[in-house]
Amino acid sequence: MNKLRVIGNDLVKYYEIDLTDYLPLTSKAFRIIDKTGKQYFVKETLPNTLEKYQFLYNQGLTNILYPLKNFEQKFVTRNPLASFYVSNFYDDTTIISEPKAQHMLNELDNLHEKTSFKRQLNPMTSRPKFEELTNRLDYKFKMLENYIRSVEAKPLNMYSMPVLANYQYVLDAKKELVRLQKRIISSIKAKDSIDYSFVHNNPRLEHTINYNGSYYLISLDNGKIGIESLDFAKFYIENENLNLDFKNIFINHFKGLNPFYYDYFRYLVLLIYISRLDVASDEYINAEIFISTTNSIKKYFTNFQDVNEDDE
């Protein structure tokens, strides 16, 4: 309630909403009820969310449920203590996840297409980022290797056996990441012309809703200008357990495009998986997370391994 107290006066001042009751949805989001019984969605956000929604509105995006404009005709209200936005509260009655996931992919395509612009890959800015990623991955793989050695040095048990049996998939991921990174760096050195666009950057199923028979994207607070492969990588990881033909969905999507997009998509998927493996020390790793992640890596190779790709 402390956060609502901070913005309570602004709800009246900028929206004429007289709060009478509320229900926390997350640490930053609330469903509120005014004195007429009408329900609203209120979310604390970052100040620059205003510019993001205004950009998308100016681009003519119609598949986004925008926040309500305040009395200053702005999508986000900012004060010295907090920034927030208000939307009408919509009940999403979607029951089956698979159709909703497909609709979200369609709306992400729409978002990317309508905000797309060409930009050359820049070795000067990309090189430091990949050097940082390489160092992080090298450290993570070294910690994993040391951990496996410590497990091998001890008697086998129900905990260690599945870890050792699945370590091969970590090694497969390491090899794949090296190969994909070489291909990506080659595209960067060639200064390939790539489509950049506004990416949602948090494409979870709850961030698309059905309203009056149409699907809309919501919660674009984390959005930014980037490459569509990021949205698709995060979408896949969020929904990999759904009964969808991800192999054909993404192969068909990237077909005919610069190979960079598909390479970058696969690189990001594996990068996120490896980043999940939190090796606290050479002696400990969460076995449940390890098994779950290596199973996901195994599924990745079933879905996305490019059999026509030459070993490098």
Of the chain, the percentage scoring pLDDT greater than 70 comes to 95
Order of strands, edge to edge, in the sheet holding 224-226? 117-120, 193-199, 224-226
Q: Report d(CA 312, CA 310) in Å as an integer.
A: 6
Q: Report d(CA 68, CA 79) in Å as an integer.
A: 17
Residue 49, pLDDT > 90, answer yes
CB-CB neighbours of 133 under 10 Å: 15
CA neighbor of 279 nearest in space, from 132, 138, 141, 134: 141
Residue 140, pLDDT > 80, answer yes
Three-state secondary structure call for residue 226: strand
Q: Which pLDDT score is estimated for 281?
A: 57
Q: Which pLDDT score is estimated for 1?
A: 52
Q: Which pLDDT score is estimated for 84?
A: 96
pLDDT band (50, 70, 90) for residue 105? very high
Q: Report d(CA 298, CA 103) in Å as an integer.
A: 27
Q: Which pLDDT score is estimated for 307?
A: 44
CATH of span 97-304? 3.90.1200
Q: Which pLDDT score is estimated for 289?
A: 87
Architecture of domain 2-88: 2-Layer Sandwich (3.30)
Per-residue pLDDT tens digits for 200-219: 999 999 999 998 889 999 99
The residue extents of the domains of the chain are: 2-88, 97-304
Which segments of the chain are extended strands (E)?
19-24, 29-34, 39-45, 77-78, 83-88, 117-120, 193-199, 208-211, 214-217, 224-226, 279-281, 284-285
Per-residue pLDDT tens digits for 260-285: 999 999 999 999 999 988 876 555 67
Give the residue, 173 or 80, on which the prediction is more confident.
173
Q: Which pLDDT score is estimated for 130?
A: 86
* pLDDT average, residue stretch 226-244: 97
Chain mean position to CA 310: 30
DSSP 23-89: EESSSSEEEEEETTS-EEEEEEE-TTHHHHHHHHHHTT--SB-PPPP-TTS-SSEE-SS-EEEEEE-
pLDDT band (50, 70, 90) for residue 311? very low
Residue 145, pLDDT > 60, answer yes
Beta bridge partners, 33, equal 21, 39
